[in-house]
Structure 1
Amino acid sequence: MTRILLHSAALLTVDRQDRVIDDGWLVIEDGRIADLGPASMRPGARGFDEVIDLSGHVLMPGLVNAHTHSAMILFRGHAEGQSLLTMDGWYNAIREPELAMVAEDMAPAVALSCAEMALSGTTTFCDQYFFAEEIAAAAATAGLRAVIAYGIVQLGDAARGTEELAKASAFVEGQRSADGRIIPWFGPHAPYVDNTEALLTEEVKVANRLGCGIHLHMACGPEDNELTLERYGTTASVALEKAGFFNGRIHAAHCLDLSDEDIAVFARAEAASVAHCASAGLRSGREAICPVVPLRETGVTVALGTDNVAANNAYDMVSEMRVAGLVASHREGRAQPVSSRELVRMATIEGARALGLDHEIGSLEIGKSADLVAIDISGPGYSNTPDLATLLVYSGSGRDTRHVFVAGEQLVRDRRLTRRPFGAIRSDYDAAYRAFWARVAAAKKAA
């Protein structure tokens, strides 16, 4: 039994009472939070395997990146001038080069993504992409907690859709990890644009049978609704509700173009959530902004995600909180309609809830898994404040993360990865990056 005492930190618990403990401590025992409290109740150092002084730090739940495509780090900087939230932009900048991908590209790409996430305070991420088995293996090697959604792209080919659903089912049945860190889901890319209504409804039925969720893109642009408006006179969300799609756990990314009626669909669903990717939305050039305030007012769970780092270019979830707060103010036309504490919740417990993991992670509470991060707030850019959440969101950076634990295992110690050196990860990635883009160039030349 391993026991660790973390002490002298400001605790952002993100619990039901949203408690902030200015000078707090926390005990990790066998991978779980065994106890926590204020300095006046702090236990002595005897009986602990390790005691870590966190003076000048905030200790909080690990951040949850609720939407990304980790292998797409290979595309960082390759989508300038393209809107990845349109079919043309996605196809031209991403889909065509993707055809040159091979399974061997995944491990080095995902390893670097996981390293960047861990080093900026993310302990859980939700991924949707091809080569799901390789991505799951790489995430497991990195030690992060991950929901891995098997990417399904049909593109009008019914036989392909059936085949992909069968492969996704086999993936879900075979990939549940014994330690609970890897959680397999289905990942249809988007409704109607490249997954038909028939396939989507079948995916829900199979997902419910297998006990997994569905992660997809929704309401990214007008073209998402073109077919259903022509066929039914309704938006895609309304049409899918009528077809029974929202009978499962549905986690939808982006959701920029939700009408009031669409919001009501999400509110009526038993387990529907939204991953708001504020930075990616702004970079896309879309005028629409995810209606976070109306969604939350109707009780819909809204989490935060970075999207891929071709659309965003960074995995810093602290920065993502700040951008989400700014765009909410812009959309609603008033100052801070989403408070700093709400933004912290969206990046932690709400992300956990969206993924069906809020019983296990997302807050500092006794009995939960010790997925937590310590962020150094003693350096430049930080100062005394009456509101720790505001300091973190609007002054902070994920790059100030100093320690990271997942299930009690310390993955980052003093800003260094513990499982594998960052230099080795970066070296392997650099070689994979060069090989991938050489393949893309060769394919273009051959065509």
Structure 2
Amino acid sequence: MTRFLLKNATVLTVDAADTAYEKGWIAVEDGRIAALGPAGSEPEGFDAVQDLAGHLVMPGLVNAHTHSPMILFRGVAEGQSLLTMDGWYNAIREPELSLVAEDIPPAVALSCAEMLLSGTTTFCEQYFFADEIAGAVRKAGIRAVIAYGIVQLGDPEVGVRELARAEAFLASQRSADGRVIPWFGPHAPYVDNTAELLQAEVEIANKYGSGLHMHMAAGPEDNDVSLKLYGKTAAVALEETGFFNGRVHVAHCLDLSEEDIAVFARAPAASVAYCATAGLRSGREGICPVIDLRAAGVTVGIGTDNVAANNSYDMVQEMRVAGLVASHREGVAQPISSRDLIRMATIEGARALGLDHEIGSLEVGKSADIISIDMRGPGWSPTPDVETALVYSGSGRDVQNVWVQGEALVRDRALVRTQYETVRTEYEAAHHVFWARVQAAKMKAT
């Protein structure tokens, strides 16, 4: 039985009462939180004791929406709005057609490294090559909900093929340790997944008890298509088909109406991934109505989206942007408190993924998914409000240590399972090969 103790840190538990300890400790046994409390009450007899004086200790961050292989597209979408069909197709979809399975593991490995090094311990993925993503996730040790991405774009044969592959993924990839959780990932309703395909996806997801993760109300096309077909927004049309009867987790939601928000509020397990930076960079006028969603009782997590749209996996930075964008939308200073932004990036993200019983807060019995943040560097100074200091002055680069299920994956800002330099070198080779292939395909087409 592995037992270790973290002590002498500022501990944010993010439990229901937002309990915090000024010089707190956490005892971990066999990958789970065995006990925690204030200074002076620490138990004895541990295999290892780590003094984290000057550190903030909190639950690992939950990135509620991203596409990890798309690190291959970092920096290629300048001047393109990836939340419109034209921008996405021109900047991403065309070169994406040149992807092969061998491109994926090195890309996902670098994405996982960047997430871990900035404090993310769980992420929600939606993309193709889901088996290859799962393999890279297992190797990295991070936790991931992986939604098999389906883009049909009007081709019935593609829909049939991808549906079969997605079901095979659901049947085979759930890991015994809970670090890989397979879901369905229809890319977007009606725009690139037909009503018939969506219904088939729901039936298979229900069969396996899996969630559905998709984009919605991200670009003007989303509702344009459903309004033309049904005279209703996508959310309303989907509710009428029973789509919202199971767990549904939706990214972006920039153009939700009051009626759409009511659909989410009525659903038994519907949630939203708020991707503020991606929304801003897209140039879209719409901004996710986070305040209205939360007031209606809808769970809202925070996501980075892909790093072509965002260029960063830093969830501390993403919390900051999420707060600033909400202030701008509402015309009110800090309508979401720093404490609530942290909850959205931890326990609310976990709740959106149906994992709040396991992760998202530091509580006895939960998995020891824990991060420590060094508060002794530039940007940090004594403060009565450490949550605001983290959100508006901190950075993912302040993260020093990361544990997933009690396993140290980052120690003193270095990856433990492998060297970052190795991950980076392998990725650079894959990046070169992929873009050479894209260029060759362009030349052949002309």
Q: TM-score range by the shorter chain?
A: over 0.9
1:159, distance to aligned residue in structure 2 (A) = 2.5
Kindly provide the CA deviation profile for residues 392-412 of structure 1, in whole angstroms up to 9, marking residues without a partner as x: 101100111000000000000
Kindly provide the CA deviation profile for residues 56-92 of structure 1, in whole angstroms up to 9, marking residues without a partner as x: 0000000000100000000000000000000000100
Question: Which residue number corresponds to residue 17 of structure 1?
Answer: 17
**Partners in 2 of 1:262 and 1:274 — Cα distance?**
12
**Paired residues for 1:194-205 under 5 Å:** 194-205=192-203
Match of 2:285 among 280, 284, 287: 287
Contact 1:114–1:144 (CA<8 Å) still a contact in 2?
yes
1:221, distance to aligned residue in structure 2 (A) = 1.7
Match of 2:106 among 79, 102, 108: 108
Deviates more, 1:224-233 or 1:143-152: 224-233
Question: Which residue number corresponds to residue 40 of structure 2?
Answer: 40
SS of corresponding position for 1:40: coil
**Partners in 2 of 1:159 and 1:313 — Cα distance?**
34
Query: Which AA in structure 2 matches 1:9?
Result: A
Match of 1:87 among 82, 85, 89: 85
**Paired residues for 1:396-407 under 5 Å:** 396-407=394-405
1:348, distance to aligned residue in structure 2 (A) = 0.2
**Partners in 2 of 1:291 and 1:409 — Cα distance?**
37
Q: What TM-score do the two structures reach when normalised by structure 1?
A: 0.99
Percent of matched pairs sharing the same residue: 72
SS of corresponding position for 2:40: helix
1:341, distance to aligned residue in structure 2 (A) = 0.6
Match of 1:255 among 243, 253, 258: 253
1:113, distance to aligned residue in structure 2 (A) = 0.3
SS of corresponding position for 1:39: coil
1:206, distance to aligned residue in structure 2 (A) = 1.1
Match of 2:378 among 377, 380, 384: 380
Question: Which residue number corresponds to residue 324 of structure 1?
Answer: 322
**Partners in 2 of 1:222 and 1:314 — Cα distance?**
25
Contact 2:255–2:288 (CA<8 Å) still a contact in 1?
yes
Question: Which residue number corresponds to residue 246 of structure 1?
Answer: 244
**Paired residues for 1:66-215 under 5 Å:** 66-215=64-213
Match of 1:310 among 304, 308, 318: 308
SS of corresponding position for 1:179: coil
Contact 2:152–2:159 (CA<8 Å) still a contact in 1?
yes
Contact 1:204–1:247 (CA<8 Å) still a contact in 2?
no
Kindly provide the CA deviation profile for residues 107-154 of structure 1, in whole angstroms up to 9, marking residues without a partner as x: 100000000000000000011101000000001100000001101111
Kindly provide the CA deviation profile for residues 328-362 of structure 1, in whole angstroms up to 9, marking residues without a partner as x: 00001101110001000000000000000000000
CA RMSD for the aligned pairs?
0.7
Kindly provide the CA deviation profile for residues 279-335 of structure 1, in whole angstroms up to 9, marking residues without a partner as x: 000000011100000000000000000000000000000000000000000001101
Query: Which AA in structure 2 matches 1:293?
Result: I
Query: Which AA in structure 2 matches 1:18?
Result: D
**Partners in 2 of 1:423 and 1:159 — Cα distance?**
42
Deviates more, 1:106-115 or 1:226-235: 226-235
Deviates more, 1:114-123 or 1:380-389: 380-389
**Partners in 2 of 1:314 and 1:222 — Cα distance?**
25
**Partners in 2 of 1:227 and 1:256 — Cα distance?**
16
SS of corresponding position for 1:230: helix
Query: Which AA in structure 1 matches 2:290?
Result: V
Kindly provide the CA deviation profile for residues 359-378 of structure 1, in whole angstroms up to 9, marking residues without a partner as x: 00000000000001000011
Contact 1:359–1:368 (CA<8 Å) still a contact in 2?
yes
Question: Which residue number corresponds to residue 340 of structure 2?
Answer: 342
Q: What TM-score do the two structures reach when normalised by structure 2?
A: 0.99
**Partners in 1 of 2:206 and 2:373 — Cα distance?**
38
SS of corresponding position for 2:108: helix
1:43, distance to aligned residue in structure 2 (A) = 2.4
Question: Which residue number corresponds to residue 223 of structure 2?
Answer: 225
**Partners in 2 of 1:287 and 1:356 — Cα distance?**
31
1:211, distance to aligned residue in structure 2 (A) = 0.7
SS of corresponding position for 1:41: coil
Query: Which AA in structure 2 matches 1:272?
Result: A
Question: Which residue number corresponds to residue 8 of structure 1?
Answer: 8
**Partners in 2 of 1:104 and 1:352 — Cα distance?**
31
1:160, distance to aligned residue in structure 2 (A) = 1.7
Aligned length: 445
Query: Which AA in structure 2 matches 1:310?
Result: A
